[in-house]
């Protein structure tokens, strides 16, 4: 499983899984995209994919996850595109470099912001897990 959408009293929470932190960050962005544009778009994307890069620097890993998702949200909303392809080229505690691909799409849900509320990133024995709450 890449991610699951969980109950939250006012907003939405996504639990994310990955075999390493690279996959965790990619799946987090994918989970957010599938919420905004619908699950179908990430499973069966149509139309030409436009690739670009993203570089993020933050004070720590938790902030890196929030800033990374906030950047994707910003690009998605202003470019009116669904970001469906993620390749994390490099990730450290405070830095991330990624190649991201998007297609033209119409949003079906709004996310206002990525929050720190209840934010968790955990390295388990054989995989990574995270939880992020989005303000919707």
For residues 35 and 84, give the distance between their C-alpha atoms in angstroms, rounded to a whole number: 12
Nearer of residues 9 and 48 to another protein, judged by Cβ: 9
Identify the residue among 95, 116, 120, 122 touching another protein (CB under 8 A). Answer: 116
Q: How many CB atoms lie within 10 A of CB 96?
A: 24
Piece of the chain touching another protein by CB under 8 A; list 24-32, 58-66, 81-89, 94-102: 58-66
Distances (CA, A) of 33 to 46, 81, 94, 112, 124: 15, 10, 23, 13, 25
User: Taking CB under 8 A as the rule, does residue 110 contact another protein?
Assistant: yes
The residues that touch another protein, with contacts defined as CB under 8 A, are 5-12, 58-59, 62-63, 66-67, 70, 74, 77-78, 80, 106-110, 112-117, 119, 133, 135-136
């Amino acid at each position: 499983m890449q991610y699951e959408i969980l109950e939250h009293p006012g907003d939405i929470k996504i639990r994310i899984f990955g075999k390493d932190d690279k996959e965790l960050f990619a799946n987090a962005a994918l989970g957010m995209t599938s919420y905004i544009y619908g699950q179908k778009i990430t499973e069966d994307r149509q139309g030409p994919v436009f690739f670009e890069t993203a570089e993020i620097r933050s004070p720590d890993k938790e902030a890196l996850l929030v800033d990374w998702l906030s950047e994707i949200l910003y690009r998605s909303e202003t470019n009116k595109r669904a970001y469906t392809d993620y390749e994390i080229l490099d990730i450290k505690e405070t830095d991330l470099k990624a190649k991201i691909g998007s297609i033209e799409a119409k949003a079906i849900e709004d996310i206002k912001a990525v929050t720190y509320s209840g934010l968790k990133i955990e390295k388990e024995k054989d995989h990574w897990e995270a939880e992020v709450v989005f303000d919707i």
